[in-house]
Amino acid sequence: MAFLLRGQHTEGLYALTEFTLAPPPAHGPPVHIHNAEDELTYVLEGELEFVLGERTEEGSVGSFFLVPKGTPHTLRNLGPGAARILVVLTHPGFEGYWKEASRLLEASGGEPDPEQMRALQERHDMDARGQVQRFSEQD
What are the extents of the domains in the chain? 2-93
Phi, psi angles (nearest 5°) of residue 41: -115, 130
- Cα–Cα dist 13/136, whole Å: 35
Beta strands 83-90 and 73-77 are: unpaired
pLDDT per residue as tens digits for the range 39-57: 999 999 999 999 999 999 9
- What is the value of pTM for the model shown? 0.84
* Residue 24 to residue 79: CA distance in whole angstroms: 6
Residue 134 binned pLDDT confidence (cut-offs 50, 70, 90): low
- Identify the band that residue 136 occupies on the pLDDT scale cut at 50, 70 and 90: very low
* CATH annotation of 2-93: 2.60.120.10
